């Protein structure tokens, strides 16, 4: 039985490693689909790979993203 994805608030580095691993798996599937001529399936897997990669990268910038998000909310509330 495989382990589930670790929640980012429990262990950020494990979550990041899991997301990078997911991105590699999705990219590998996308390449296989592309080689088999399954263009739409490949495009979907590329999207999933990029999404997982961005989630992994965001772990390193969590504080900056949180600051931006809070400032954006304050700005929207002032309108």
Q: 12-45, pLDDT tens digit by residue? A: 899 999 999 999 999 999 999 999 999 999 999 9
Answer for the pair 58, 65: CB distance below 8 angstroms, yes or no: yes
Which pLDDT value is given to residue 1? 42
38 in a domain, yes or no? yes
Which pLDDT value is given to residue 68? 76
Number of compact structural domains in the chain: 1
4 in a domain, yes or no? no
16 in a domain, yes or no? yes
58 in a domain, yes or no? yes
5 in a domain, yes or no? no
Half-sphere exposure of 25 (CA within 13 A, CB side): 7
Domain that holds residue 71: 12-78
Tokens of 40: 């739409």
Look at 65 and 22; give whichever has higher pLDDT.
22
Separation between Cα atoms, residue 73 and residue 79, nearest integer Å? 10
7 in a domain, yes or no? no
């Amino acid at each position: 039985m495989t382990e589930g994805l670790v929640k980012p608030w429990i262990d950020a580095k494990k979550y990041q490693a899991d997301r990078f691993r997911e991105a590699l798996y999705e990219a590998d599937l996308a390449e296989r689909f592309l080689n088999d001529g399954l263009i739409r399936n490949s495009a979907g897997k590329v999207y999933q790979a990029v999404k997982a990669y961005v989630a992994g990268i965001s772990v390193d910038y969590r504080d900056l993203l949180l600051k931006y998000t809070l400032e954006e909310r304050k700005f929207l509330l002032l309108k």
